[in-house]
Amino acid sequence: MPSAAHSPVLIIGGMHRSGTSLVASLCHGAGLYLGHRLMGAAHGNAAGHFEDLDFVELHERILVANGLGSEGFTTDARPEVPDGLADQAAALVAARRGVAAPWGWKDPRTVLLLDFWAEAIPEARFLLVFRPPWEVADSLFRRGDPTFFHNPPLALAVWEHYNASLLEFSVRHPERCMVRELSQVVADPAAVFSALREHGVPLEAPAGDPFRAELLGRDPDPARARLVRRVAPTACGLYADLRRRAGVPDPLPPAVAADPVKLALAEWARAAAATRQVGHATRRAAVAEDHLATARRDLDEARCQRDRLAAEADALAARLAECTARLERETADNAALRTRLASWQATATDIQEALAALDRCRGGSDLAGRFARSWPDAA
């Protein structure tokens, strides 16, 4: 059982394209804390990856430090964790242990580091998921990874390395590991969560429809399975061992002899159909490019017209500013003239009053009248 000093920990691992995102989404819905910075949806996982980027980025740095690609597509490597990155891992675990709930993470690269994490987190439990090699290879091919496009057999070799590591670890740590085929999770999620609770991870299966079948991308063509059996018999033997480890009651169906000519013709037909689809897509892309070019021309014309209108608006604004300044100057001059006129009018009024007083003193003089007639506003 997990240590009473820490919250339960569940680490979800499995080969790329083995359904670990689906399993992680179920655990997330059941209350497993998977981190606050999760990888979002992408072309390969439309519903989301449910991967804690803190752990993903740490794993990538470990792989690069070992001279491997960050995606972890290796057929034999068992990476070592340098001291500096081990310290980062310890700090990350210490931070997660502060969460007052079951916690964990999901990342396919974890399979390459199972022993490291088993020692670093003694209370951790491992949910290890696998899927038929032909389904994984088909998913990798459909996702369009350039690595496997140029070297298709590599997909099966990577599958075999990951799942051999997974199986070997589960044999050494049976009390800490649950191995399940993806089909078991899909068929009966409640049974998986019941087994998790028995392993000390208290999660209840989420209610409602747990998954979207169309996102699994299964290839129903049995010819693919027969082809894999012919070209990678050891992978198929490993798959049978994994199924026994997972307690799948029915064994693998017996291999059916496949006519290599028919298989080749079938793949030829598939390739021809794919070529035709690519041709249609290319033509549609050309039409879209034409539409895009037209839209860009229209946009350029609209931008030119916008620039012309902006220039005209700037010119009008400048003229308006000039007229406004002139009006302000003329208004100020008018106010100054009114002030001077008022002063003159006051002076004329004083003169008029003085002349009137002088007329009264002189008797019969009309100095005030003559002034009034020459300066009417003074009257």
- For the segment 269-326, what is each residue's pLDDT rounded down to a tens digit? 666 666 777 788 888 888 999 999 999 999 999 999 999 999 999 999 999 999 999 9
The pLDDT tens digits of the residues spanning 215-231 come to 555 555 677 788 888 88
C-alpha of 360 from chain center: 104
Question: What are the tens digits of pLDDT across the range 70-83?
Answer: 999 999 999 999 99
> In angstroms, rounded to a whole number, what is the distance separating the alpha carbons of residues 359 and 213?
120
Predicted local confidence at residue 48, as pLDDT: 52
Q: How far is 241 from 255, CA to CA, in rounded Å?
A: 16
Question: What pLDDT digit, counting tens, does each position of 156-182 carry?
Answer: 999 999 999 999 999 999 999 999 999
- 72 in Cβ contact with 108 (< 8 Å): yes
Q: What is residue 39's three-state secondary structure?
A: coil
Give 252: exposed, middle or buried? Use CB within 10 Å, 0-12, 13-18, 19+.
middle
More confident residue, 230 or 335: 335
Q: What is the pLDDT of residues 33-51, one digit of tens each?
A: 998 877 654 444 444 567 8
pLDDT at 1 (0 to 100): 42
Dihedral of the alpha carbons of 34, 37, 41, 45, in degrees to the nearest 10: -40
List the alpha helices (DSSP H) in the chain.
20-29, 53-65, 83-96, 114-120, 133-143, 146-150, 153-172, 182-187, 189-198, 222-231, 233-246, 260-362, 367-374
Check pLDDT > 50 for residue 23.
Answer: yes
Output 211 or 329, whichever has higher pLDDT: 329
pTM of the predicted structure, to 2 decimals: 0.67
pLDDT exceeds cutoff 80 at 134: yes
Round to whole Å and give the CA distance between 99 and 48.
23
Average pLDDT estimate for 188-194: 94
Question: Using 50, 70 and 90 to split pLDDT, how confident is the model at 346?
Answer: confident
Helix (H) or strand (E) holding 10: strand 9-14
* Predicted pLDDT of residue 2: 47
pLDDT of 46 reads: 46
Give CA–CA dist 162/178, Å, rounded.
16
